Structure 1
Amino acid sequence: MAKAPEYKLEDLLTLMARLRDPKDGCPWDLKQSWETIVPHTLEEAYEVADCIERGDLDHLKEELGDLLFQVVYYARFGEEEQRFDFHQVVDELTRKLLRRHPHVFPEGHLQSRAGDQVKSEAEVKNTWEAIKAEERKEKQAAVSALDGVPSNLPAVTRALKLQKRAARVGFDWGKAIQVLDKLEEELAEIREALASGDQAAVVDEVGDFIFASVNLARHLKVDPETAVRSTNRKFERRFREVEALSAAAGQMLTEERQSNPATRVPLQTLEGYWQEAKRKESRNAPVT
């Protein structure tokens, strides 16, 4: 039987208060601010995602704790500035979720029962988005469909969110094949920019190509950020195998060796190792 937890949420909040105590707190924690904690928050969120995508659920509890600590940190800043505290964060979140789930909580409180009001997933999503849109209208008089998409999101994630917002008001391709045509158009424009020698135009057209690629992923119901992270892991796995195969042939891949024409391992040879790495993965793939 699992051991009962020794500490509760209130203990964590007390710990945070002690760390930020002006007299007896931790010097490092006392130096932190809203801005300095942001990079840590992003890092912890990605570590949670990494654990899940690698199937490392044994360490997920620890990573979730680290992410929760970031929320506790911001709540402490809010309390110190007499803006809000952790309990108010929880209260506002709960109220918002009750409001956005009328199919589960029709009376707007935890004790209510949905009965036969539970809808299909598509209906739930439409209701959710309609309620969010109404909330945005209440916050400001003039509203763009793109308002509220954070500017500091990873670029691919933000591109996806912007496209989804535009699609909800009808600005969208009808079929994935149309996005493929757009990709080919953007690729041709990259070629033109390269031929012109205009580096600023190259940057602009490459950005358009990546944005269109995100759009294609959306139409194919593929999360682009997840797909690219998966490809990153695949590339890293295969390239490490290329390094191992090259080392086994007595040709260590180093910057110094590869910068010298006399010792450089030819790209053709490296491509052969890459293909061997792919074949090895295929042979080792589990049979389903």
Structure 2
Amino acid sequence: MPDPRDAIAQLIDIMARLRHPETGCPWDQVQDFASIAPYTIEEAYEVEDAIARGSPATLLDELGDLLFQTVYHARMAEERGWFAFADVAAVISDKMIRRHPHVFGAAEARTEAAQVAAWEAQKAAERASRAETGTLAGIPTGLPALTRAAKLTRRAARVGFDWPDAAAVLDKLEEEAAELRAEMRNGSEPVDRERVKDEVGDLLFVLANLARKLDLDPEDCLRGANRKFEHRFRFIEEALKNEGKAPADVDLDRMEALWGEAKRQAAGKG
């Protein structure tokens, strides 16, 4: 197993060489924080995908890609005289020690619930030190929208602004669906696209909160639905291919029949 300090030092050196203004890679030389940020987000999702697939080899590779993103941003910051990779490591180390006094300090061991409360209190103090005030301060705008919706209302719930239970959220969901239906002409065509967009947003927001009230991750729920749709649609394509056809060659009734078969097969495996 390689020495972690040597491995990190090598990676930092590789990044510096890629960014060298004279001998570096032409593509890397011209990148900035904004251009690299989408890759950082993509790599985080690829880590999640490797975990979901249960592939240690892929996870190893994707964690390396994600680490490289941190090194990349740190190098660009160092070039501007802001901070370096060592500062990034030091800051997160200090933060973890500060947030776990029951492990690294003299505080008594806490139950999980007490630790969560202490963690949130420490995070609130850190936000206050950065002059981030208000109940919703510090929730990144770049989060996936469903995740951010759940985080926004989870934070609001701490001060009592929340539905009493999941059933109440379902009632709200029906209310929002009715409002969306009212904005649709003949049940299909929008009267005002901006108003329809607003109502669809409200509907998604309530769905994110329903997942939260059921102690579910809305992004994980949607990823599961995506995987299920993908699997079933591929079943349709494969079944039609065996008949020498493609989806465009058959009507919707035929595809829905195959969709039902895919569901039955999945249920049988369960």
TM-score (norm 1): 0.87
> What is the rounded CA distance, in whole Å, between the counterparts of 1:156 and 1:4 in structure 2?
40
> What is the rounded CA distance, in whole Å, between the counterparts of 2:210 and 2:100 in structure 1?
30
What SS is found at the alignment partner of 2:37? helix
Is the counterpart of residue 68 in structure 1 residue 67 in structure 2? Answer: yes
> What is the rounded CA distance, in whole Å, between the counterparts of 2:47 and 2:238 in structure 1?
30
Is the counterpart of residue 120 in structure 1 residue 111 in structure 2? Answer: yes
Q: Could you list the structure 1 runs, at least 4 aligned residues long, displaced by more than 3 angstroms after superposition.
A: 3-7
1:237 corresponding residue in structure 2: 231
> What is the rounded CA distance, in whole Å, between the counterparts of 1:74 and 1:197 in structure 2?
46
Q: 1:135 aligns with which of 123, 126, 132?
A: 126
Higher mean C-alpha displacement, 17-26 vs 228-237: 17-26
1:165 corresponding residue in structure 2: 155
2:183 corresponding residue in structure 1: 193
> What is the rounded CA distance, in whole Å, between the counterparts of 2:206 and 2:99 in structure 1?
31
> What is the rounded CA distance, in whole Å, between the counterparts of 1:5 and 1:267 in structure 2?
59
User: Once the 2 structures are TM-superposed, how far is the Cα of residue 185 of structure 1 from its aligned partner?
Assistant: 0.8
Identity of aligned residues (%): 49
What SS is found at the alignment partner of 2:34? helix
2:28 corresponding residue in structure 1: 29
> What is the rounded CA distance, in whole Å, between the counterparts of 2:99 and 2:236 in structure 1?
50
Question: How many residues are treated as equivalent by the alignment?
Answer: 265
> What is the rounded CA distance, in whole Å, between the counterparts of 2:92 and 2:182 in structure 1?
50
**Higher RCO, Cα 8 Å, sep 6+:** 2
2:78 corresponding residue in structure 1: 79
Q: Which runs of 5+ in 2 are unaligned?
A: none
> What is the rounded CA distance, in whole Å, between the counterparts of 2:71 and 2:234 in structure 1?
39
What SS is found at the alignment partner of 1:135? helix
Aligned AA (1:217): A
User: Once the 2 structures are TM-superposed, how far is the Cα of residue 178 of structure 1 from its aligned partner?
Assistant: 0.7
Is the counterpart of residue 220 in structure 1 residue 214 in structure 2? Answer: yes
Is the counterpart of residue 202 in structure 1 residue 193 in structure 2? Answer: no
2:269 corresponding residue in structure 1: 284
User: Once the 2 structures are TM-superposed, how far is the Cα of residue 167 of structure 1 from its aligned partner?
Assistant: 1.1
What SS is found at the alignment partner of 1:58? helix
Please tell me the root mean square deviation across aligned C-alpha atoms, in Å. 1.7
> What is the rounded CA distance, in whole Å, between the counterparts of 1:147 and 1:223 in structure 2?
21
